[in-house]
Amino acid sequence: MREPAWRKTGITPDYRFSLANERTFLAWIRTSLALIAGALAIDQLAPEIAPAPVRIVLCVILAFLGAGLAVLSYHRWGLMEAAMRHNRELPFSWLMLVMTIGVAAAALVFAVLILVVR
């Protein structure tokens, strides 16, 4: 894999900021893995939580959120690095709002399903 073009532009930022950006990227990746693992766990370990079509749709949505987050976290990491290299303001991201709404909606749906099953 070749080095991104933006790494050859601007001034190399203080390594502490680059490492902090990398830790944030890794936190997003862990969250992505947790969403995917949660989807798999719900499908495999709680088949009685909802009718199969409902459960499958919810699990697929969680898995897509996880996959999307993995891709977008790399993109976000690159944007932050490029902004630091050019001494620009860090860009705003709607990713956090979308993830918050997606996870909160999934939690609400699963809470209702757990209450209905019991």
Query: pLDDT value at position 69?
Result: 93
Tell me the three state secondary structure of residue 116: helix
Biggest CA pair distance of the chain:
59
**Is the pLDDT confidence value at 85 over 90?**
yes
Q: Which residues contact 33 (CB under 8 A, 6 or more apart)?
A: 66
Query: pLDDT value at position 110?
Result: 84
Q: Do 107 and 35 touch, CB atoms closer than 8 A?
A: no
Any idea where the domains of the chain sit in the sequence?
Answer: 12-117
The pTM of this model reads 0.83
C-beta atoms surrounding 86 within 10 Å: 12
**Per-residue pLDDT tens digits for 1-45:** 788 888 888 898 899 999 999 999 999 999 999 999 999 999 998
With b for 16 or more beta-carbon neighbours within 10 A and e for fewer, the 48-57 pattern comes to: ebbeeeebee
Packed helices 95-117 and 52-85: angle between N→C axes, nearest 10 degrees: 160
φ, ψ of residue 13 to 5 degrees: the values are: -70, 165
Query: pLDDT value at position 113?
Result: 85
**Is the pLDDT confidence value at 98 over 90?**
no
Query: pLDDT value at position 96?
Result: 85
Best CA proximity match to 50, nearest among 6, 10, 3, 110: 110
